[in-house]
């Protein structure tokens, strides 16, 4: 009797597992981004904001940006590769490459537009210095964890389906699937911690 029960149980288990795999497969075919891909988008958005700060705020920010790029070089490359692969997966190779380039170009252009609003440049540069200070702290943070706490403005370029993330330099809002950790207060933080106004 044990033989047929085991065979039946195995068949039922295989049917159940097969159903689970079939249920999971449509998620990526629906064009949904994974949590890792959303994190890569956040990394890119922060990097574009900091790039604009380095281009516009002065030599101090250039030096800080160069340190940031050097210290996080491996993580930035890995994150960038994840984002490029996401665009290719969702849109195909040629359209994915174009969407990737368009997103990066749009993100830095939007950062520049926010910085050049009359009266915004000083706050933008001050906020960039705060972000650099946190990123370049003696205890190097994990890049993905760090950017989860950095507010950014850029809109999410993909549908995260169950994972909803609104990326703005005013604040990072996430659904229940992702709970970003708040950046700890640093000495010299302004009374209003809304970064990159």
Quote the pLDDT of residue 62.
Answer: 96
Residue 77 has pLDDT above 90, yes or no: yes
Express each pLDDT in 80-114 by its tens digit: 999 999 999 999 999 999 999 999 999 999 889 88
Of the candidates 167, 142, 162, 149, the residue with the CA atom closest to the CA atom of residue 41: 167
Work out the angle between the directed axes of helices 93-115 and 35-56 (0-180°, nearest 10): 40
Q: What is the pLDDT of residue 83?
A: 95
- Closest Cα to residue 47, out of 125, 104, 115, 88? 104
Which helix (H) or strand (E) segment is 9 a member of? helix 2-29
Q: Where are the domains of the chain?
A: 32-174
Q: Are residues 76 and 143 in contact, defined by beta-carbon separation less than 8 angstroms?
A: yes
Residue 5 in this model has a pLDDT that exceeds 60: no
pLDDT of residue 114: 86
Mean pLDDT calculated for residue range 169-173: 39
Nearest partner of 171 among 72, 79, 45, judged by Cα: 45
pTM of the entire predicted model: 0.65
Range in 19-28, 57-66, 76-85 the model is least confident about: 19-28
């Amino acid at each position: 009797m044990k033989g047929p029960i085991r065979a039946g149980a195995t068949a039922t288990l295989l049917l159940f597992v097969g159903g689970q795999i079939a249920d999971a497969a449509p998620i990526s075919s629906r064009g949904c981004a994974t949590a890792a891909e959303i994190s890569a988008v956040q990394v890119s958005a922060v990097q574009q904001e900091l790039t604009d700060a380095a281009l516009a705020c002065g030599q101090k920010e250039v030096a800080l940006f160069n340190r940031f790029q050097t210290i996080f070089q491996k993580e930035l490359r890995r994150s960038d590769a994840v984002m490029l692969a996401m665009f290719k997966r969702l849109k195909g190779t040629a359209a994915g490459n174009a969407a990737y380039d368009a997103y990066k170009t749009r993100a830095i252009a939007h950062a520049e537009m926010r910085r050049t609003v009359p009266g915004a440049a000083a706050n933008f540069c001050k906020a960039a210095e705060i972000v650099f200070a946190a990123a370049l702290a003696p205890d190097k943070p994990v890049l993905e964890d760090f950017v989860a706490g950095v507010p950014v403005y850029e809109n999410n370029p993909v549908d995260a389906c169950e994972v909803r993330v609104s990326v703005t330099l005013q604040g990072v809002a996430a659904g229940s699937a992702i709970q970003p950790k708040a950046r700890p207060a640093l000495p010299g933080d302004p009374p209003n911690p809304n970064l990159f106004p």
